[in-house]
Amino acid sequence: MATTRRPGGRSARVQAAVHRAVTDLVCERGADQVTIPAVAERAEVNPTTVYRRWGSIPALLAEVAAAEESGPPAPTGDLGADLAAYAEWTLADLSRPGGIAFFRAEVAADVDERRAGLRECLKRSSTTIEALLDRARGAGHEVPALTDVIDRVVAPLYFRVVFSIPGTDAAYARGLASALHREA
Amino acid sequence: MATTRRPGGRSARVQAAVHRAVTDLVCERGADQVTIPAVAERAEVNPTTVYRRWGSIPALLAEVAAAEESGPPAPTGDLGADLAAYAEWTLADLSRPGGIAFFRAEVAADVDERRAGLRECLKRSSTTIEALLDRARGAGHEVPALTDVIDRVVAPLYFRVVFSIPGTDAAYARGLASALHREA
DNA sequence: CGGCTAAAGCAAAGTGCTTTGCGTTAAGCT
DNA sequence: AGCTTAACGCAAAGCACTTTGCTTTAGCCG
């Protein structure tokens, strides 16, 4: 039989407190300075609880990042607008507190975990983009390849956020999308 | 008076042994699993020595990465060929053992150090690219902006290496460069 | 060659993350 | 309401990295 769970009152409160503590600490100190004892103290829970429920910092950051991520914009079928919206959303997702921190943590995590985290991250992006392209393709348009969207839109945004290149804002994101769209 | 240094025999041997140990361990376990005690043991030197000479893992990785990096190819003035060569070299640099590990370490390092390391990394790339563009510009050609080279060539390569996207080889790197070149 | 001292080695203490065993609390269910 | 037990708290032990004071080794220079 399946072990019965207890998501009710207390567990939910602990989870909320821990999540909040993680985002706060990531903003204040950066993802690499976030330790489980620090999170536990800020959340006013026992470190043992965090160790037993989440096990490691990468796992905890992953959960928090996933919980905070807003879904990507729904494609409308207008390829130009959809690409722009997707680019803008991607940048917003990376720029939000903890967004890039999550990415940093994944990049730095140990081999097995890293592969899992990065692969999932890439797969989600690919799926979203494919949906967007399919929608436009269904409307009878010529669409760029997935790989081009990644190279021309997604990669520059990640690169610019990681390197903190100034001027990387929503307008820039839209510009990347429209430059690709114009060529198709 | 300036403190006299002793780069001779023993220090040089220790440095070489430590460098070799770092690259070996990075290859075997990944950058995040490399600790100073582990490096010291592999290099058959005392951990204290590593702590006193390098202080931290990021600093040590930075030195090793810098020491191993081969210089970028000299620009010939042929923009298409130079861009392709630069793209290929960048990919080779990232792909070599420890290349991306160094990047990963920088990305994950704490705030102050990270900024310094990433900024220097970006600055070096920018300088190299500018030199390449200037050379072509001097030959009277129309050249793309630095920012376009970064977005279209450098960023995709970093992104693909970090995410381990298959098919990211020398031919792909050249393809990125030539796609940009064709537009100009 | 012989002195000076930078650089390496050694050992012990310090620090902070992590694990473990056990008692306590409070969901969920009848 | 009362029982069961998942989930949390607590405290002590474990472990690994890091620091520190001192000793020993071996470049460099006169």
**pLDDT tens digits, B136-145:** 999 888 999 9
Look at domain A71-183 and name its CATH class.
Answer: mainly alpha
Chain B residues touching residue A158 (CB < 8 angstroms): 155, 158-159
Cβ partners under 8 Å of residue A106, min gap 6: A58, A62, A113, A114, A117, A118, A121
Helix (H) or strand (E) holding B178: helix B170-183
3-state helix, strand, coil in chain B (%, to 5): 75, 0, 25
Cβ partners under 8 Å of residue A141, min gap 6: A79
- pLDDT of residue B67 exceeding 90, the answer is no
B35 CA to C12 C1' in angstroms comes to 21
Distance (Å, whole) CA B59 – CA B77: 36
Task: Answer yes or no: do B107 and A109 touch at CB < 8 A.
Answer: no
Interface of chain B toward chain A, CB-CB under 8 angstroms: 29-33, 104-105, 107-111, 114-115, 118-119, 121-122, 150-152, 154-156, 158-160, 162-165, 176
Distance (Å, whole) CA A81 – CA A65: 26
Rounded to a whole number, what is the distance in Å from the CA of B140 to chain A's nearest CA? 26
- Residue A30, Ramachandran bin (φ over 0: left; ψ between -120 and 50: alpha; else beta): left
For A40-81, give the DSSP string: HHHHTS-HHHHHHHH-SHHHHHHHHHHHHPPPPPPP-S-HHH
Distance (Å, whole) CA A150 – CA B72: 26
**Of the candidates A129, A130, A70, the residue with the CA atom closest to the CA atom of residue A99:** A70
Q: Tally Cβ neighbours within 10 Å of residue B70.
A: 9
Residue B31 or residue A26, greater confidence: A26
Cβ partners under 8 Å of residue B69, min gap 6: B93, B99
Inter-chain CB pairs, A–B, below 8 Å: 82
At B30, is the pLDDT very low, low, confident or very high (cuts 50, 70, 90)? confident
Provide the residue-wise pLDDT of chain A in tens; the chain has 184 residues: 445 576 768 899 999 999 999 999 988 887 778 999 999 999 999 999 999 999 999 889 888 988 888 889 999 999 999 999 999 999 998 888 767 777 776 666 555 555 677 788 899 999 999 999 999 999 888 999 999 999 999 999 999 998 889 999 999 999 999 999 998 6
Cβ partners under 8 Å of residue B70, min gap 6: B89, B93
Rounded to a whole number, what is the distance in Å from the CA of A156 to chain B's nearest CA? 5
CATH no., domain A9-66: 1.10.10.60
Measured between CA atoms, the residue of chain A closest to residue B126 is: A165
Q: Please, what is the Cα angle at A64 between A53 and B163, to 5 degrees? A: 110
> B98 by DSSP, 3-state: which?
coil
What mean pLDDT comes out for the span B147-171? 95
Q: What digits encode the pLDDT tens for the residues B76-128? A: 999 999 999 999 999 998 888 767 777 766 666 555 555 677 788 899 999 99
Distance of CA B148 to the CA centre of its chain: 20
B1 CA to C1 C1' in angstroms comes to 27
The pLDDT score that the predictor gives to residue A2 is: 42
Question: Which range has highest mean pLDDT (A92-96, B1-5, B47-51, B137-141)?
Answer: B47-51
8 A C-beta contact, residue A56 and residue A35: no
Domain residue limits, chain A? 9-66, 71-183
What mean pLDDT comes out for the span B144-167? 95
Same CATH topology for A9-66 and A71-183? Answer: no
**Mean per-residue pLDDT of chain B:** 88
Chain B residues touching residue A156 (CB < 8 angstroms): 150-152, 155-156
> Is B70-183 assigned to CATH 1.10.357?
yes
**Of the candidates B21, B127, B148, the residue with the CA atom closest to the CA atom of residue A176:** B148
Distance (Å, whole) CA B132 – CA B181: 13
The full length of chain A comes to 184
The pLDDT score that the predictor gives to residue A176 is: 98
Chain B residues touching residue A159 (CB < 8 angstroms): 150-151, 154-155, 158-159
Which of A110, A114, A159 is opposite residue B155, by nearest beta carbon? A159
A120 CA to C26 C1' in angstroms comes to 37
